[in-house]
Structure 1
Amino acid sequence: MGTATLLITAKLIAWLMTDSSSLLASLTDSFMDVSASIINLLAIRYALAPADEEHKFGHGKAESLAGLIQSAFISGSALLLVMHGISSLLKQDPILRLEAGIWVSVGSIVLTLALVGFQQFVVARTGSVAIKADMLHYRSDLLLNGGVLLALVLAGQGWFWADGLFAVLIGLFLLWGALTIGYESVQALLDRQLPEEEQARIISLCCQVPGVHGVHDLRTRQSGPTRFVQLHLELDDQLPLVKAHQIADEAELAVRQAFERTDVIIHMDPISVVLKEQQGPPIEQQ
């Protein structure tokens, strides 16, 4: 939020001095940035709230809702930028005080690089959907600010059409990013499975526990920073209940140690029942 606010101030001053369409596009994007960051702050604080009587699975999906709201914000601003860019492209007015716009664009690139680096560190530690969406947005800002810088340089050489053209291209690029963020948020709200490599690792960890013959009916999803894992362990028929429970606890511990903030539910099946189900009904019944 601090970074976006600083960039808004600098870009607003530069736009008032230059009247550049591409700088206006970048300024509009920064307004969307600070709005999205405020939404993220509120959503993440709510998502981290512990489970209560009315929300037994926690509040993690607030992050995905924040991503969906971001997508709507960015889509609207992107369409406005495209329309403004087309208008500027038709007029091709000269840009005043190019130096101010160029220096602001360079400063924006440096600040955004630092912010993206920190966000990447946070996503690696937490897996936050909201921060990942924010990071994707700020990564697009690097290209956006680079495009603005190039547009200003070209306009300084007399190619006034470059300013409007880059505003249109930036708007289309932001629209594509917004659709991507919206798709990811919707998939999270629809309880999409965890990535295949994570599912394979969960199965492998459980199968490495002594006494486990196999795993089936694995179901996974993620809500905010928390993963939810449900699976069936295949165990020997004659195991005492205490021993079967001990094996299930070991499998649960292995998964929880491998993935932070993971809720695991395990059902235990006798191996003979699993084999019978796999074989299907007898031929005469088929």
Structure 2
Amino acid sequence: MHSLTTTDTSNAPGTLRRTLERGEFVVAPGVYEMFTAKIADRMGFKALYMTGYGVSASHLGLPDAGLVGYTDMVGRAGTIAQGITRPLIADADTGFGGLINVRHTVRGYEAAGVQAIQIEDQESPKKCGHTPNRRVVPLAEAVKRIEVAVDARRSKDFLVIARTDARTALGLDEAIARGRAFAKAGADIVFIESPESVDEFRRVGEELAGGGAWLIANMVPTGRSPELSAQQLQQMGFDLAIWPGALMSVVCQAAEDALAYLARNGTTEGSPVPSYDMKRLHELVGFPEVWEFEKRYAS
């Protein structure tokens, strides 16, 4: 077992751990590629969330059903983490294999610049948490994943999020019991996926808040859970909330509307769909820096 280093974060207010220690509630929108990541990075959020659903769909055109692998995910995580200024929370499914894969995944995500990794207790291949027919591994195996993840990290500023999908198949009692076990195993943040009512969210907060780990909620409008506001969740005892589909859903609708207009009219002129002009696109992707470099160094 290697020793952990605790990074001095007194001069790094942007670290996720430091934000949570200050008691600030974290709203993290889902990002999955660099247009969305760069836009979200400018909006003042305390963290961003790399969604596995979004990466699987945007990178490979496949559903979030265990089809995207470690190499795809860690590569995308590194690209996003290095291209933004906000802390990045990243989905790592079940750790992409057995326990030694969990260790490898944690070390890879940490080296890529991610600040918090999400590990699930589903069987492989896993599925999106708001789809049916999810199955979880036995509790002892799920706890071992978290123990390995906690031991594998090199800095305590790298947070381990332990997610359980037990609610759908085994009920809320089992999900809460797993949350307690994950906190005892050293998880920094506990994630009870897809409670099915406001009362269930309230009960999760009552039974797990203050239990040795921070508490995260997943807001998926039109999914299995009701959407609650950040204020409501904070009052219930939650510390963070992710909105994985906040960008995917609107981007897909805007793309469909814009392309339908082009198909009907043979032009984009007059389209009612809001859009960036080229000046804003150039600025977003960093062309002003290129032009400044050329002024200084190009012959």
Report the TM-score range of the alignment, normalised by the length of the smaller protein.
under 0.3
TM-score scaled by length of structure 1: 0.21
Which structure has more helix as a fraction of its residues?
A: 1
TM-score scaled by length of structure 2: 0.21
